[in-house]
Structure 1
Amino acid sequence: MIRIVPVTDRRSREWFIDVPFRLYRNDPLWVPPLRSDMRKLISPKHNPFFAEADIQNFVALDADMTPVGRISAIIHHEYNRRFGEDRAFFGFYETSPDPAVSAALFQTVESWSQARGKRTLIGPYSYTSTQDAALLLENLDSQPPCLLQTYNPEYYRQHLESAGFNLAFTFSTYGVDSVKTPRTDKLQNQAAMLRQRHNIQVRNASKAELKQNLDELRRLFNDCFADNLEVAPISRESFRFQLDSVRPFIDLAGIRVIEVDNQPAAFFLILPDLNELLTRLGGKLGLLDLIRLPRYRKQIRKCVIALIGARPMLHGQGVGRIIADEIIRYAYGRYEEVHTMWIDDRNPSSYVLAANGGMQRTKRYGVFQKSLGAGSAAAKEAQA
């Protein structure tokens, strides 16, 4: 017997957090998050996104009251204002191999969504498309995920399709060794010519103005993705919250803004691959770990392009080559590998940028959706 309970108190919150630790305890590819970070992430008191969305977390319990699955139901109001009021998300989806667990989780989220008049369920987005997103379809490099990349067993896709979900779109992550090659030399020469031809300047963030620099990145991100069909604008509060857990690891040289005729036109933010650190910690940050943190940080081999974008009117004008050149310049001598977060497979300018940097696809992901039909009047009355 599978029982689905809403997360409403400390006990159910710990059940929710504990699910992946139980499911993946023998999986060498899974990277455990810090439990303390997860408590903040799912807390309405700490996470400002709860003020921007309707969110309900659920846990699946077996007959012995052992947590065997979890899921979140989300209605992101800004996303719906932009793309239509009929959508709900699901996220933080984890389940045992038993298909009955998955079926019960999805039935619960579908009922919750229909009761609020939603007709389409999309995911996984945890909680939104600018955070952990999508289902791993192919682990092409057979490596653990880097920072901002998700991980799951292969059977998750079968469970989704059995529940009536269809693959809506795919995206990929890319990686490359941080070494000098004839390709990078050619790219550097091309970028130098483009800088002169189009009056392009590149600047880093500064310690004195880091707060303003980060807010500038947020505004640039919202502008650059204004026409994207899956990304809603990030509020100042949510953006700040998302960066809080990585703020001690932000390198000012890894924040770069590209200006054309003295106007901000493109940007990127590169972070160390903190998943290498999280693998060491096993979900907890102890006193000895805090002492050893500077040493751990120096041992991180990879970096991840956490944010990147260019204003749409600049696509096709060579700005991508300058971005790729700046990324290579930054990573060389600092890290052994450079990786990306997700790149939409429908966006040719993005994967051309990856190709310009000599990157190879490392993982392929998918977002799924299901039509629910109109929420019933009885369900709406029950909610009221």
Structure 2
Amino acid sequence: MSQPTQIKKVISKSDLKEFVKFPFRLYKNDPNWVPPLVRDELAALDPRKNPSFKHCDTSFWLAYMGEEVVGRIAGIIHTQEAKEKQMARFGWIDFIDDHEVSKLLLDTVESWALERNMKGVHGPMGFTDMDFEGMLIEGFDEVSTIATIYNYPYYNDHLLAHRFEKSTDWVEIESEIPEQGLQKLERTAKLVSSRFKLRTVEFKNTREMRPYGRKMFDALNESYADLYGFHPLSKEEIDNYLKQYFSFLIPGFVAIVVDEEDNVVAFGITMPSLSEAFQKAKGKLFPFGFIHILKALKKNTIADLYLVGVLPKYHNMGVTAMIINHVYKGFRKWGIKKIYTNPILESNKGLLNHIGMFAAKNRIRKKRRCYAKKI
């Protein structure tokens, strides 16, 4: 007879380390799980290092059977979302295939949310749209990107058994980069550039990109305003993301489109895939993890599409063609053959159509879901 499941709130540093390291045991032998860097996860969950805690009420819990950790979950109440929808979020959810465990985790978040006058919960989601979101429901045999959630197929059965329903879905696309016949794309990009007096900024190095960093995030706030679960990033959050990630960007993999006043009107951020490198690093940069990452950044045939944004006033004007044309040039120099998108809302038909329009071949490689429940 198995031991009863108990829940424990994460309080100490050692608790937080258990919270972060539990998936390393759960997915240890799964070839499609890509482990995060432990130090990045600890920083994301530390109120001293993550400015999102300033406008989020947050708690973390671990589920135990005896002395063994068998599950984890985070509860997040975003101030703005609470005012507008009275919804709480759950995220960082992982558990063994035991309905008692998953029920205890979800019940704990629901009770916590009710105590704070929420009327529902949804997830998995993070503090911001830049965090992990969307439970995997298709594509379990595909390797994840470093920016997405991986989970076992039984997770979805548990959520449905606990009376959660679909709130929205995301898809991830694999596109093959055409080796030739891109004249139409270049003509379209030039036509859009001329018609609307736009240009794609050319960068030689990361230093030249820096003046556009904040402008890009301002454009992200505006272009993502109507997307599911999105709330504008604060100045502190933007500064944090710029500090964390901007130095890793590669000029040929980033497209920033500006108007005559040098305002960012659209952007696209891609990177060489780091999935295999992160698997080899096993959650650690040192002593050898960083070597695998550096190798992947220098030689790769796959790129990941992280972010694409176009200001609403430029929607349906072909500006995405300028972004795709620019990064394709970088891909050809690097020998990139395929691009894997990160999650794109299934309702974002415009972006999905543009990605397919200029690819040699497309397929949906993964599908993920946000679940919701009234409480």
Name the residue aligned to 2:353: 352
Cα distance, 1:253 vs structure 2: 3.2
Deviations 1:90-131 (A, max 9, x none): 000001011111000001000000000000101000233331
Q: Which moved more, 1:295-304 or 1:86-95?
A: 295-304
Distance 1:349 1:238, change over 3 A: same
Name the residue aligned to 1:316: 316
Q: Distance in 1 between matches of 2:274 and 2:293?
A: 11
Name the residue aligned to 2:236: 237
Give the paired residue count: 367
Q: Distance in 2 between matches of 1:251 and 1:79?
A: 34
Distance 1:110 1:87, change over 3 A: same
Is the 8 Å Cα contact of residues 213 and 242 (structure 2) preserved in structure 1?
no
Name the residue aligned to 1:195: 193
Name the residue aligned to 1:158: 157
What SS does structure 2 have at the residue aligned with 1:186?
A: helix
Name the residue aligned to 2:254: 255
Deviations 1:315-352 (A, max 9, x none): 22221222222232222232232221111111211211
Name the residue aligned to 1:362: 365
Q: Distance in 2 between matches of 1:243 and 1:277?
A: 22
- Structure 2, unpaired ranges of 5+: none
Name the residue aligned to 1:106: 106
Q: Distance in 1 between matches of 2:147 and 2:37?
A: 14
Equivalences for 1:290-329 in 2 at 5 Å?
290=290, 294-329=294-329
Q: Which moved more, 1:41-50 or 1:109-118?
A: 41-50
Q: Distance in 1 between matches of 2:30 and 2:209?
A: 38
Q: Distance in 2 between matches of 1:292 and 1:325?
A: 29
Is the 8 Å Cα contact of residues 274 and 300 (structure 1) preserved in structure 2?
no
Q: What is the Cα-based RMSD across aligned positions, in Å?
A: 2.0
Corresponding position: 1:42 with 2:45: yes
- Structure 1, unpaired ranges of 5+: 373-384
Q: Distance in 2 between matches of 1:276 and 1:244?
A: 24
Deviations 1:31-69 (A, max 9, x none): 111112211111111111111211101111112x11110
Name the residue aligned to 2:177: 178
Q: Distance in 2 between matches of 1:227 and 1:296?
A: 35
Q: Distance in 2 between matches of 1:291 and 1:24?
A: 23
Q: Distance in 2 between matches of 1:269 and 1:249?
A: 11
Distance 1:34 1:256, change over 3 A: same
Corresponding position: 1:86 with 2:86: yes
Structure-1-length-normalised TM-score:
0.89
| Identical columns (%) | 25
Q: Distance in 1 between matches of 2:179 and 2:44?
A: 39
Is the 8 Å Cα contact of residues 200 and 322 (structure 2) preserved in structure 1?
no
Corresponding position: 1:127 with 2:127: yes
Distance 1:243 1:62, change over 3 A: farther
What SS does structure 2 have at the residue aligned with 1:332?
A: helix
Q: Distance in 1 between matches of 2:88 and 2:202?
A: 38
Q: Distance in 1 between matches of 2:149 and 2:133?
A: 7
Cα distance, 1:246 vs structure 2: 3.6
Cα distance, 1:209 vs structure 2: 5.0
Q: Distance in 2 between matches of 1:352 and 1:292?
A: 34
Structure-2-length-normalised TM-score:
0.91
Distance 1:114 1:151, change over 3 A: same
